[in-house]
Chain A
Amino acid sequence: MRPGAATLAARTESKSNQVSSELRILLEDVHLSFGGRPVYSGFSCGFPRGKISVLMGGSGSGKSTLLRLVAGLVRPDQGRILVADEVVTELSESELYKVRERIGMLFQHGALLDSMTIFDNVALPLREHTELSERDIAAEVSRRLSAVGLPDTEQLMPRQLSGGMLRRAALARAIVSDPEIVLCDEPFSGLDPVNVRRIEKLLVELNRRLGITLLVTSHHIPSSLRMADQITFLVDGEAVSGSPAELQKSTDKRVREFLDAELDDHESPGVDA
C-alpha cells in the first residue's frame, strides 16, 4: 500500500479516530461539479458502521452521485472520502479495486452484463475472487437468487427479465460475496409491493445477521421509515440526518415538505412504488 493509501487511523487525529470507529463512510468538505455546474460545495456527511442509512432527496439532489463518490467511481474535485477505513480519494484505481472487494453495489438499472446469463452474472464475483469450486458457486448463486425471489432464472439472459427482476438479480450479485458495505441505488423503484417487502426484509436481514453497513437511496418512504437506522435528506447541497422518528418530527420545512408529499402519494389508493 502506498503512503497515500494509509488507513484513517494512521492519518487522522484521535478525535477523528473515534469518529471513524463509529462511521463506516465519511465525506468531508466534498466539492464536485459537472461541466461547471456544482453538485456539492463543501458537503460533509457520515454514515454509521453496521447500520442501515437511507439517503433521500428530490430528483437531481445528488443521491446517486453520492453513492458513486463513495464507490470511487467519481472523484471529487476537492475533499476527502473515507470508506471502510480507507481514504478512497487518495487511492489509485488499482488500490481502489482492493477496497471494492469489500463493497457491493446495486445500480439503479441493474448494470448486469447483457452477454451473460443471470447465473454467470451472479457467479462472476465468486469466480473472480474466490477459490470456490463450480459446484459451491452454483449452490451459492442458487441460494442468493432464491433469497431475492428469482429461483428459476439462472439460465435466462438479462434481456428476458423485467426491470424489477433485473434489479433483484443485480442485488443478488451485489451481495453474493458477502461484502462489508452494500450501496443500493433505488432498490425499490419499479417493484410491486410484495417484492418491496421481500427486498426490504432481505436488506434488513443482511444488516442484522451479518452486520453489513447499508447505504440506500430511496424515494419509498414507508420502506425507508421501517428499515432505516438513519435517514439523511439531501437538500440544497446539505445533509440533514436523523433517526426515522426524529425526522418524522422534524420541523425543517424542506424535510417536512418532502415527507408529507411522498407520504400523501404512498397513502393514495391505487398508487404504489
Chain B
Amino acid sequence: MKMTAIEMLGFRTVSLVAHLGRIAAFIGSIGLHSVRPPWRFRRLVGEVFDVGVLSLAIVCLSGATVGAVLGLQGYTTLARFGAENSLGAVVGISLVRELGPVLTALLVTGRAGSAMAAEIASMLTTEQLDGLRMMSIDPVDFVVKPKALAMLIAMPMLNALFICFALFGGYLVGVQLLGVDGGTYVTSMEDAITWEDDVAGTLLKSVVFGALVGFIATYRGYTATPTSAGVSAATTGTVVVGSVTVLLFDYVITALWGV
C-alpha cells in the first residue's frame, strides 16, 4: 500500500523518535551497568589493553610526525615575521588545544573503534550475544560496558602521549634541524600553555571524544544487521560517523568553552 506524503512524514517521524529512544536506552543501560556491580575489572583491563596499548605505536608515531610537520610549517611561517622564537608556543598551543585531542580521536576511531564495532557485530552474527542472554548475562553489561569504558579511559591517556610525542617531534625539527634555541623553545611553550584553559580543555575534549567514540562503536556493533555485510557496514559506519561526530563536537566544545 502506497503511503501519502503526510503518512510518510508521520512514519519517518515515529521511526526517528523510536531510533532516538533506542539510543537513549542503550546509553542509559551502559550508564546503569557502569555504576552497579559486577564491576568486571579484568574485562575492563583487557579492553583498556586492546584500545590503549595496541594503539600506542600508531598514536606515538603519528604524534611525532605531526609535531615534526608542525615544527617545520610553524618555523617557515614565523620566520616571515621574525618570530622564530615563538615556535614552541605555536606548536604547544596548536597541539594541546586542538590537534592532540582531535587527531588522537580520529586515529583511535579508525584503529580501535572500528575493531570494537566489528567484534561486537560478529558476536551478534554468530549468536554469541544470544548465548550470553541464555546464560542470564546481559551483553550490554558483559561486552559493551567494558569496551565503552575502556575507550573513555584510554582516550585521554593516548591524547597525552600523542601530545608528548608531537612536542618532541616539533623540538627535533625546530631545535635540532632548524636551529631554534632549545631553551627558548621550551620556555615559550611553558609560558603560552596554561593548566586551567589549555590542559583542562584538552582533557575535557579527549574525555568527550572517548565517550562519543566508545558509544558510537559499541552501538553500531550492537545494532548491526547479523550478516557479513552488516559487520562491514557497522565497521565503516563507526569510522565515518565517529570521525564526523568528533569534528562536530570539537567545534561545539571550542565554541562553548573556548578551549
A125 to B133, CA, bound (A): 11
B130 contacts chain A at the CB level, 8 A cutoff: yes
* Contact status A107-B130, CB under 8 Å: yes
Which residues on B sit within 8 Å (CB–CB) of A129?
135-136
Which residues on A sit within 8 Å (CB–CB) of B123?
113-114
* Contact status A112-B128, CB under 8 Å: yes
Which residues on B sit within 8 Å (CB–CB) of A174?
134
A100 contacts chain B at the CB level, 8 A cutoff: yes
B residues 121-172 with Cβ under 8 Å of A?
123, 126-128, 130-138
Which residues on A sit within 8 Å (CB–CB) of B126?
109, 111, 114
Of the candidates A108, A114, A125, the one whose C-beta lies within 8 Å of that of B135 is: A125
A124 to B132, CA, bound (A): 9
A residues 94-141 with Cβ under 8 Å of B?
97-98, 100-101, 103-105, 107-109, 111-114, 124-125, 128-129
Q: Number of B residues whose C-beta is below 8 Å from A?
A: 13
Given A109-B126, A111-B126, A114-B126, residue A100 in contact with residue B131 (CB < 8 A): no
> Nearest Cβ distance between residue A67 and chain B, in whole angstroms?
10
Q: How large is the interface on A (under 10, 10 to 19, 20 to 34, 35 or more residues)?
A: 20 to 34
A113 to B135, CA, bound (A): 12
Q: Can you offer 20 A-B residue contacts whose CB atoms are under 8 A?
A: A68-B130, A71-B134, A73-B130, A73-B133, A97-B136, A97-B138, A98-B136, A100-B134, A103-B134, A104-B134, A108-B127, A109-B126, A111-B127, A111-B128, A113-B123, A113-B128, A125-B136, A129-B135, A129-B136, A173-B135
Measured CB to CB, the residues of B under 8 A from A are: 123, 126-128, 130-138
Known pairs A68-B130, A114-B128. 19 more at Cβ < 8 A?
Answer: A73-B130, A73-B134, A97-B138, A100-B133, A100-B134, A101-B136, A105-B131, A105-B134, A107-B127, A109-B126, A109-B127, A111-B126, A112-B128, A113-B131, A113-B132, A114-B123, A124-B135, A124-B137, A129-B135
